[in-house]
Amino acid sequence: MNKKVILSGVQSTGNLTLGNYLGAISNWKKMQEDYECNYMIANLHTLTIRNNPETLRNNTLNLLALYLAAGIDPKKSNIFIQSQVPEHAELNWVLNCYTYVGELSRMTQFKDKSAKHADNINSGLFTYPVLMAADILLYQADLVPVGEDQRQHLEITRDIAERFNNLYGETFKMPEGYIPKIAARIMGLQDPTSKMSKSSSIPNDSIFLNDEPDVIMSKFKKAVTDSENIVRYDTENKPGISNLISIYGAISGKTNAEVEKEFEGKGYGDFKKAVAECVIEELRPLQTKYKELVSNPEYLKQIYVEGANKAKEKAEKTLKDVYSKIGLV
Ligand code: ATP
Ligand code: LTN
């Protein structure tokens, strides 16, 4: 039986957060049994911000180690580095010519990131969703597991695919988003009304995957809550506590109601400590494995070389079809 195809990726910007893990990477592992999975390191997307070349190289390999440490198994899933499969950049150019400036101007991520990096509003930042569409459409992906913030980029991917298919006949599979029910949008611990972000400038707002246990505990203890002192899910009035319930629920597999029940009659102090402990325990094996893997560059190389070869085989087919349909000799 043909398995459905999955494609997803994370930018190699370093210091991933608990949001990246719970919203995206931790779900990828669960999907590898039932789907044909392709997990990419989106290092071309990372060029939309200025990087030190050595840092970008290290971040790329570190992210590969993190995928493996998080349980992505190269025997079950194809893991590769975006820049090593040139078809991504090639299809990106073609799709750029089938994407309107008007639709790109509506992207909220572009607006947010332009505001954050006012000194470097480059064209790559503007056409970022087109490269993402190329990533997805090259593999004829059925499903794209991402966090809530990527929903708009999936919609534009579908619009581009549909436009192309209408012009040239069935070429691209219509991909669907696969956005988790819980933890699709983990919020900042200090500002629980904005998403937890790697680039947050607020101290103690984000939990990083390489934070030491005592740092994790201290960040959770400082997390902003409210004065009710009742563990109750209510994003409107209690965004801080609701965020902690989501984190605890995502890791323990419990529903919001179950978490509320477990902490009935207990105060925020106990609850925060329990959330911190479950995060520390969830990350502990990942951190240990990660340290082992980053010290084994030969092994990492073997994974990404094989990954790129397999990815190329799939990507080539789609690109050839596209070139032929649009009339490139
Ligand atoms: P930045 O925080 O700097 O804007 P980012 O973390 O959103 O960057 P990526 O590294 O490309 O950018 O995101 C990787 C994946 O993590 C995506 O699927 C994204 O939806 C998901 N993700 C990012 N932040 C969160 C969050 N706070 N909660 C849940 N999922 C998230
Ligand atoms: N833009 C994505 C990262 C990304 C991606 C993709 C995700 C690049 N290409 C293809 C899914 C499919 C983000 O999460 N910020």
Task: Determine contact, residues 128/48, Cβ cutoff 8 Å.
Answer: yes
The ligand that comes nearest to the alpha carbon of residue 189 is 1
Tokens 């009339």 belong to residue: 327
For residue 175, how many C-alpha atoms fall within 13 Å in the half-sphere facing its CB?
33
Give the model confidence (pLDDT) of 249-307 as tens digits: 999 999 999 999 999 999 999 999 999 999 999 999 999 999 999 999 999 999 999 99
What pLDDT score does 39 carry?
98
- How far apart are the CA of 261 and the centre of ligand 2, in A? 36
Record the pTM. 0.94
Reading the block at residue 296, the tokens are 């084994």
**Both structure tokens of 217:** 């505990």
Listed in order, the ranges of the chain carrying CATH 3.40.50.620 are: 5-179+297-326
Which residues of the chain fall below pLDDT 70? 1
pLDDT number for residue 159: 98
- Residue 183 has a pLDDT of 87
pLDDT tens profile 186-195: 999 999 999 9
Strand residue runs (E) in the chain: 5-11, 36-42, 77-81, 143-145, 176-178
CATH code that applies to domain 213-291: 1.10.240.10
pLDDT at 180: 87
Nearest CA to ligand 1 atom 26: 19
- Active-site residues, by number, are 113, 195, 198
Ligand 2 lining (C-beta closer than 6 Å): 7-11, 42, 45, 132, 135-136, 144, 146, 150, 153
Which among 26, 108, 149 is the best mutation to test ligand 1's pocket, defined by most ligand atoms within 8 Å of the CB? 149
173 C-alpha to ligand 1 centroid (Å): 25
Is there a contact between 131 and 94 (Cβ–Cβ < 8 Å)? no
Letter string b/e over residues 130-148, b meaning 16 or more CB atoms within 10 A of that residue's CB: bbbbbbbbbbbbbbbbbbe
Which CATH number among 2.40.50.250, 3.40.50.620, 3.50.50.60, 2.102.10.10 corresponds to the domain 5-179+297-326? 3.40.50.620
Residue 15: per-residue pLDDT: 82
Which is nearest to 180 in space by CA: 23, 304, 47, 35? 23
DSSP 8-state secondary structure symbol assigned to residue 4: P
Domain ranges in the chain with CATH number 1.10.240.10: 213-291
Ligand having the closest approach to the CA of 9: 2
In the chain, what is the straight-line distance between the N-terminal and C-terminal CA atoms, in Å? Answer: 36
Q: Residue type for 52, please?
A: N
Atom index in ligand 1 nearest the CA of residue 150 equals: 20
Ligand 2 nearest atom to the CA of residue 42, by list position: 8
Q: In what order do the strands lie in the sheet with 5-11?
A: 77-81, 36-42, 5-11, 143-145, 176-178
Tell me the CA–centroid distance for residue 219 and ligand 1, in Å: 19
